[in-house]
Structure 1
Amino acid sequence: MIYTANARGCAVIVLHLDELLESRGMTVSELSERVGITRANMSKIKTGDAKALRFSTLDGICSVLACQPGDLIEYVPEVH
């Protein structure tokens, strides 16, 4: 589970790529090859270091992992 932060440093987006890969017995290398992006770019997505995620990449990830975007990305509202 990877948390990304907004401009104020509060965690608001949670990525569940690790859990999805593990549950499907798949590596980052295999996923990147099947999606058609470099392993480096997939690693950035996996670690939360990506600045953006193209819809075509999201489509590829969801297709390969047989999941919905909401299974991969979760919005967690800020708690004040």
Structure 2
Amino acid sequence: MPIIINLDQVLADRNMKSKELAEIVGITEANLSILKSGKAKAVRFTTLEAICKALDCQPGDILAYTEE
């Protein structure tokens, strides 16, 4: 898939664990794991907004596009 998920790196930069982010955002750890692994087919803008707010980042810090 040409969309790259950099969520693990942003979490590490913020010294935050996935469990903590999931609680703040209001999603399950399982759903966050699916998103982090790149297996998610879609992400709601409200979820993306909540992640960006929790991590004090921009969507482009989490998502990247690369040509295959």
Per the normalisation by structure 2, the TM-score is 0.94
Q: Which has the larger radius of gyration?
A: 1
User: For residues 41 and 21 of structure 1, what CA distance do their matches in structure 2 show?
Assistant: 16
* Corresponding letter in the other structure for 1:42: L
Q: CA deviation at 1:55?
A: 0.3
User: For residues 48 and 13 of structure 1, what CA distance do their matches in structure 2 show?
Assistant: 8
User: For residues 70 and 20 of structure 1, what CA distance do their matches in structure 2 show?
Assistant: 11
- Runs of 5+ in structure 2 lacking a partner? none
Number of aligned positions between the proteins? 68
Aligned CA RMSD, in angstroms, stands at: 0.8
- Aligned-residue sequence identity (percent) comes to 51
The correspondence for 2:5, drawn from 11, 15, 39, is 15
Compare the two structures and name the one with the higher helix fraction: 2
Q: Partner of 2:22 in structure 1? A: 32
Per the normalisation by structure 1, the TM-score is 0.81
Higher relative CO (Cα under 8 Å, sequence separation at least 6) belongs to 2
Q: Partner of 1:45 in structure 2? A: 35
Compare the two structures and name the one with the higher strand fraction: 1
Q: CA deviation at 1:77?
A: 2.2
Stretches of 4+ aligned residues off by more than 6 angstroms: none
The correspondence for 1:54, drawn from 11, 29, 44, is 44
